[in-house]
Amino acid sequence: MKTIIVVGGSKGIGKALIEKLLAYCNVINISRSIPEISHSNLTHHYCDVTQNELPEIDTADGLVYCPGSINLKPITRLSIDDFKNDFEINVLGAVKVIQKYLPALKKGNNPAIVLFSTVAAKLGMPYHASIAVSKSGVEGLVKSLGAELAPTLRINAIAPTVTDTELASKLLRNEKMIENITERHPLKKFLSPSEVADMAAFLLSDSCASISGQIFEMDCGIVSFKI
């Protein structure tokens, strides 16, 4: 049975991923809140990744870094601290976790890392400057580490469009906004956490053994199509 480290697994996509993995993996969750899940295969460590020392873990077969931010403001209202905070959460947090657990992952069975980007790293969108900058950093990290760590370890990222999570709740706070978001996507839908978790689980699996250094757009067509 594989052991997967999930950082930020108490909510949203991370929680949906843990719920899937627990059927066939040991899961170590690292987050600031306890997941609303109880299972013999689940271990939880309280930790604010940007502030605290990470727990010691000897061996692992996979790592998923879920923390992110949605800081949507005009450039004139974004402070330098906004850019720094988004970069710390999305990029430096991932770097810290990877550096900490790389020795453990190298002992694992076909080890893999999954990070998260956003469609806004490829599709120019107003008010997304800070998050687009930091998630573009995540994509650069995936490409660089994919080359550096091959053939020992794979790393990929998922770039979702709007996903129905607490983090995106301001974008989906009423029926009119939900309708507008739905209509903007060529597939006339947005994402559920479970859909994104399915992709993350696939990228961790041995079925994905030949794929590394890739960014997977889960965009409901918004980046890929103009209809």
The pLDDT of 205-225, averaged and rounded, is 96
Asked if the structure places residue 223 within a domain, the reply is no
Tokens of 36: 């609303």
158: CB partners within 8 A, 6+ apart: 114, 115, 116, 117, 196, 199, 200, 203, 215, 216, 218
Please write the tens of the pLDDT for every residue from 113-154.
Answer: 999 999 999 999 999 999 999 999 999 999 999 999 999 999
pLDDT given for residue 170 in this prediction: 78
Cis omega (within 30 of 0) for bond into 151: yes
Q: Structural domain of residue 87, as residue ranges?
A: 2-218
Asked if the structure places residue 130 within a domain, the reply is yes
Asked if the structure places residue 227 within a domain, the reply is no
Tell me, what CATH number does 132's domain have? 3.40.50.720
What gap in Å lies between CA 199 and CA 21, rounded to an integer? 12
Q: Is pLDDT of 112 > 90?
A: yes
Asked if the structure places residue 226 within a domain, the reply is no
The pLDDT of 168-182, averaged and rounded, is 86
- DSSP symbols for 150-216: TTT-EEEEEEE-SBSSGGGGGGGSSHHHHHHHHHHSTTS--B-HHHHHHHHHHHHSGGGTT--S-EE
What gap in Å lies between CA 166 and CA 186, rounded to an integer? 24
Asked if the structure places residue 224 within a domain, the reply is no
With CA atoms as reference, report the closest residue to 26 among 47, 16, 40, 37.
40
Higher pLDDT, 165 or 113: 113
Strand order across the 215-218 sheet: 42-46, 25-31, 2-7, 62-65, 112-116, 154-160, 215-218
- If one counts the domains in the chain, the total is 1
Asked if the structure places residue 104 within a domain, the reply is yes
Percent pLDDT > 70 in the chain is: 100
